[in-house]
Amino acid sequence: MANVGKSTFFQAITKSELGNPANYPFATITPEEARVIVPSDKLDHLYQLFQSENKIPANLKIFDIAGLVRGASNGSGLGNQFLNDIRQVDGIFQVVRAFIDDEITHVEGKVDPVRDLTVIIDELLLKDMEFVENSLEKLQKELKNKNRKQPGDLMNLELEIKTLEKCYEWLMEGKRIANYENWSNEEIEILNTHNLLTAKPCVYLINCNEKDYASKTNQFIPEIKQWISENSPNSPFIIFSAAFETQFNKLSSDKKELSQYLNALNVEESALPKIISAMRDSLNLISFYTCGDVEARQWTIRKGIKAIDAAGVIHSDLQNTFINAQIMKFCDLINLSAPFDEKLIKSQGKQLKVGKNYIIEDGDVVFFNAAAAKSKKVKR
């Protein structure tokens, strides 16, 4: 919704002045884009262990998109533009206002998080229903033109139509596509091409004032939790405070003042690392690492990626000329101190040689071997 703290949160998580926090709706029109560093204790340890010259973390690209209002699916408040902006992303941070401040207006007149959540999900559902209706109409026309289709094409069309019909029935029940757990792999591939709004994973960010963030509760939070469990089950929700995160960033250069601020609130840390990790988990993203004396680097891949495809994330030549990979598990390195002793790891049988079909696991430290002609090894 508008005026819930989205742009303030965006500035806090990106540690920038991008975005336009303001006490009026639609202060943001064009989406702002920034990248945030993915926190990784593993990378910090590997950087020290390998005594690397540089430490290169992974990042997550995020956008500040304007708030929706009731009727957005019909174009209210430039809703069609903003819903199209949402369609372009992989996952959604939904900021939910759970604080009362008479100086910050609310487009619905008063603060009511459950009402806001209901308005947003209704608008997303309605837009998805409209999109599915239009897609089904086009597919039905295409199906009737059987003279131009091969048997395989007709089967694919029929499966796509059945999948979208199933989607429509689910949406009609007021349920997000992401909540349905029994999609087949073929149906998932079809759904991915349609990029439906309610199929995107959502992390709910409950924006409280500083005091309520410290206590992790207020009068709104129990009802918000109940709503999420009923309408978006298994979606993570995180209690945070955009006001706290803004102040945390301002004081981060002065350890004494920051410590006094945290002690006064009885708060130990920022919620931002947890928020970033929650989105990565929702998107099924993991990290592998390449380490050497030049750099320790964190790479992002989706769960289930094979070694040969992970090599392609670094460089296409590595993928095209892949021979094998040497794998070390982070759990075998966590208690080691610098300098790194590769001979010791090998003697203990903790450096594995794997082929192209090995599934990379979160925390793997990888050294790729490729054909000599196009070798793109990471210097060690």
Q: In which order are the strands placed within the sheet that holds 237-240?
A: 92-97, 202-207, 237-240
CATH number among 3.40.50.300, 3.30.470.20, 3.40.50.720, 3.40.50.2300, domain 1-28+65-138+197-283: 3.40.50.300
Token code pair at residue 340: 């790194």
Task: Using DSSP, state whether 95 is helix, strand or coil.
Answer: strand
| End-to-end Cα, the chain, rounded Å | 49
Q: Do the domains spanning 1-28+65-138+197-283 and 285-374 agree at the CATH topology level?
A: no
Contact 352, 326 (CB under 8 A): yes
As a whole number of angstroms, the distance between CA 47 and CA 154 comes to 54
Q: According to the model, what pLDDT value does residue 338 have? A: 93
Domain boundaries 285-374, corresponding CATH code: 3.10.20.30
Report the share of the chain in percent with pLDDT over 90. Answer: 74
pLDDT digits (tens, 9 = 90+) for 61-93: 999 988 887 876 776 655 567 788 888 899 999
The full set of domain ranges for the chain reads: 1-28+65-138+197-283, 285-374
pLDDT digits (tens, 9 = 90+) for 94-105: 999 999 988 887
Neighbour-count burial for 84-104, b at 16+ CB within 10 Å, e otherwise: ebbeebebbbbbbbbbeeeeb
Q: According to the model, what pLDDT value does residue 324 have? A: 96
Amino acid residing at 373: A
pLDDT digits (tens, 9 = 90+) for 213-250: 999 999 999 999 999 999 999 899 999 999 999 999 99
